[in-house]
């Protein structure tokens, strides 16, 4: 199979964007919906054998008003097959109407070019679909309601949890489904070559639909993707594997209004930051023998107050197996320092926690965040799997050491890393943001103490 040339879809997206007047989210909804209709009509006729989509091929040549009615009819057929859960016709029709007659030619040309891309059998449709998602994410950032996690980082987290065929995998904030798909690919390449049971939740309707389509394009027909707030889920299901990139420092009271207080066995998180709400929900959702890899902002590792007390209890329960610090610039559109928490159940109280510094991966960052696993974090994964100390790179921290440092998990507390000191503007900005986060946390702790003593700040 030939390697997919990302310029195919990028050029079409760029041309459509420059010739129409929709916002980025609308472009994205239109583009992925049309892609999926074409994919089903060309490559999955085996699933839709009772529905005739061959007429769609004639749309490459028609002039006048024939084009869009045929496209909408095809979308309707695919919608019916999927019990109207994807809203393809509705989405495409709405955006064609929004674009108006002035943009009709640009839309038609984009669709014809996209049909040509999808119809090329040598191009992996899954890679093509993922590239579309990535291209839009670079423009949208987190404004779209979900964050795109680069492929190299996704593959490292999947490698850490080592999914095996037949297991269940869950992402409580699944976005476009990248973790779920990558985990399933890994399982299919495991010893028994069996797929995973796929489960995901996503609060954003558009993202949830895209996740469902993404799974189907990657050959996952029976995915359980639910449109809901995972912090308000009424049932507490459990899974073998959890992979997640929850929103950082989300301000929400959704868990206060729900029945999910049973999630919070280590303490109720503050309403102004949901980091420990997501973390405890993930812990509660792990089966015995389950494991999780969770992307977090570094504030989770050191913040005090209510969150510090929760972190202490989680550490004492022995659920945190490892912390992998990540180099700066891992996530586009944010300079927040990040790490991966590796969790396992049942916890083993008293066991040391492995801290791993991934500084050796820094030389790759800034070149291609979508690069495959082998060219990014292979050394970091090796250190984690060896689970032993390497001077300046990996350290096993005992519970006594953690207690002596107020259960702070920040890697700089326990070892000198191998990162080269730099004075570039981007590094200074990143450090400033980290200090600002810490200052805000200290101010919040101070305010909480004043409230406890029935004082007020004027």
pLDDT value of residue 423: 47
Q: 306-333 burial string, b = 16+ CB within 10 Å, else e? A: bbbebbbebbbbbbbbbbbbbbbbbbbe
pLDDT the model gives residue 144 = 40
Predicted TM-score of the model (pTM): 0.84
Check pLDDT > 90 for residue 47: no
pLDDT score of 125:
84
Residues across the chain: 458
428-456 pLDDT, tens per residue?
676 777 787 778 777 777 776 776 665 44
User: Which three-class secondary structure state does DSSP give residue 189?
Assistant: coil
Which tops the pLDDT comparison, 345 or 134?
345
For 380-428, the pLDDT digits (tens) are 899 999 999 988 889 999 999 999 999 999 998 898 654 444 445 666 6
Mean pLDDT of the 225-233 span: 89
- How far apart, in whole angstroms, are the C-alpha atoms of residue 333 and residue 180? 23
The pLDDT-based confidence of 457 (bands split at 50, 70, 90) is very low
Residue 258 is predicted with a pLDDT of 54
The string of DSSP codes covering 409-436 is: --GGGT----PPP---HHHHHHHHHHHH
Taking phi over 0 as left and psi of -120 to 50 as alpha, with beta for the rest, 69 belongs to: alpha
Token readout for 417 is 């890393």
122, 148, 129, 115: which is closest to 220 by C-alpha? 129
- Alpha carbon 282 to its chain centroid, in Å, reads 14
Assess contact for 124 and 73: CB atoms under 8 A: no
Alpha-carbon distance 341 to 245, whole Å? Answer: 11
Residue 160 pLDDT > 90, yes or no? yes
Contacts of 177 (CB under 8 A, 6+ apart): 171, 200, 210, 211, 212, 214, 215, 223, 225
Residue 41 corresponds to which tokens in the numbers above? 């009509």
| Sheet bearing 224-227, strands edge to edge | 224-227, 197-202, 168-171, 239-244, 286-297, 338-344, 320-325, 353-357, 394-397
**Tell me: the pLDDT tens digits for 285-330?**
999 999 999 999 999 999 999 999 999 999 999 999 999 999 887 7
Q: Give the span between the Cα atoms of 380 and 319, in whole angstroms.
A: 21
The burial of 215, by beta-carbon neighbours within 10 Å (0-12 exposed, 13-18 middle, 19 or more buried), is given as buried
Displacement of CA 321 from its chain's centroid (Å): 21
Is residue 196 within 8 Å of 168, Cβ to Cβ?
Answer: yes
Q: What is the pLDDT of residues 7-33, one digit of tens each?
A: 667 778 887 777 777 778 888 898 899
For residue 230, pLDDT beyond 70: yes
Maximum alpha-carbon separation in the chain: 76
CATH topology for the 151-421 domain? Rossmann fold (3.40.50)
Tell me the backbone φ, ψ of residue 170, rounded to 5 degrees: -135, 140
Reported confidence tier of residue 61, pLDDT bands at 50, 70, 90: low
pLDDT at 109: 84
The beta strands (E) that lie in 346-403 are given as 353-357, 394-397
Taking 60 as the threshold, does the pLDDT of residue 365 lie above it? no
Going from the C-alpha of 418 to that of each of 309, 393, 422, the distances in angstroms are 31, 7, 12
pLDDT value of residue 444: 75
The pLDDT of residue 277 = 93
Task: Specify which residues 397 forms β-bridges with.
Answer: 353
Q: Is the backbone of residue 407 left (phi > 0), alpha (psi -120 to 50) or beta?
A: left
pLDDT at 349 over 80: yes
Distance from the first to the final alpha carbon of the chain: 68
Residue 221 CA to residue 213 CA, distance in Å, equals: 9
Q: What is the mean pLDDT of the chain?
A: 83
Mutual angle of helices 151-161 and 378-386, in 10-degree steps: 20
R_g of the chain computed on alpha carbons: 24
Confidence of residue 145 (pLDDT cuts 50, 70, 90): very low
pLDDT tens profile 162-207: 999 999 999 999 999 999 999 999 999 988 889 999 999 999 999 9
Percent with pLDDT over 70 in the chain: 79
CA distances from 229 to 18, 105, 199, 203 (A): 35, 39, 14, 5
Distances from the Cα of 69 to the Cα of 59, 76, 170, 237, 248, angstroms: 10, 10, 39, 43, 43
pLDDT reading at 358 higher than 60: yes
Residue 399 is predicted with a pLDDT of: 94
Question: What pLDDT, in 10s, does the model give residues 89-121?
Answer: 999 998 888 877 667 788 888 888 888 888 876
Confidence of residue 65 (pLDDT cuts 50, 70, 90): low
Contacts of 408 (CB under 8 A, 6+ apart): 301, 302, 402
Q: Are 169 and 197 in contact (CB under 8 A)?
A: yes
Residue 127 has pLDDT above 80, yes or no: yes
Return the pLDDT at 123.
65
Give the pLDDT of residue 302. 96
């Amino acid at each position: 199979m030939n390697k997919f040339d990302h310029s195919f879809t990028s050029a079409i997206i760029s041309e459509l964007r420059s010739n129409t007047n929709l916002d980025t989210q609308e472009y994205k909804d239109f583009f992925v919906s049309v892609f999926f209709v074409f994919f089903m009509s060309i490559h999955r006729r085996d699933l839709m054998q009772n529905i005739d989509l061959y007429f769609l091929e004639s749309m490459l040549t028609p002039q006048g008003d024939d084009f869009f009615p045929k496209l909408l009819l095809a979308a309707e057929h695919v919608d019916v097959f999927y019990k109207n859960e994807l809203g393809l016709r509705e989405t495409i029709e709405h955006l064609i109407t929004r674009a108006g007659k002035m943009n009709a030619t640009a839309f038609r040309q984009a669709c014809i070019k996209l049909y040509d891309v999808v119809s090329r059998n040598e191009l992996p449709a899954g890679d093509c679909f993922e590239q579309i998602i990535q291209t839009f994410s670079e423009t949208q950032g987190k404004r779209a309601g979900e964050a795109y996690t680069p492929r190299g980082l996704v593959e490292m987290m999947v490698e850490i949890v080592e999914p095996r065929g037949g297991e269940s995998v869950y992402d409580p904030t699944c976005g476009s489904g990248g973790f779920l798909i990558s985990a399933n690919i890994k399982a299919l390449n495991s010893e028994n070559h069996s797929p995973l049971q796929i489960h995901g939740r996503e609060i954003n309707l558009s993202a949830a639909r895209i996740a469902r389509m993404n799974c189907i394009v990657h050959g996952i027909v029976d995915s359980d993707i639910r449109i809901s707030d995972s912090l308000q889920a009424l049932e507490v299901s459990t899974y073998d594997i959890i992979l997640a990139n929850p929103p950082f420092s989300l301000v929400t009271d959704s868990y206060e209004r729900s029945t999910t207080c049973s999630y919070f066995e280590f303490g109720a998180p503050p309403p102004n930051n949901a980091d420990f709400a997501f973390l405890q929900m993930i812990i509660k959702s792990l089966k015995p023998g389950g494991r999780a890899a969770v992307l977090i902002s570094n504030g989770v590792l050191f913040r005090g107050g209510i969150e510090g007390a929760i972190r202490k209890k989680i550490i004492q329960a022995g659920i945190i197996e490892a912390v992998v610090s990540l180099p700066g610039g891992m996530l586009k559109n944010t300079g927040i320092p990040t790490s991966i928490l590796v969790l396992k159940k049942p916890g083993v109280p008293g066991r040391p926690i492995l801290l791993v510094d991934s500084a050796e991966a820094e030389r790759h960052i800034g070149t291609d965040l979508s690069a495959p696993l082998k060219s990014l974090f292979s050394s970091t994964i090796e250190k984690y799997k060896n689970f032993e100390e390497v001077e300046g790179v990996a350290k096993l921290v005992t519970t006594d050491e953690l207690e002596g440092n107020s259960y702070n998990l920040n890697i700089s507390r326990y070892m000198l890393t191998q990162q080269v000191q730099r004075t570039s503007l981007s590094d200074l900005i990143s450090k400033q943001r980290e200090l600002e986060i810490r200052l805000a946390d200290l101010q919040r702790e101070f305010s909480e103490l004043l409230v406890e003593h029935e004082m007020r700040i004027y």
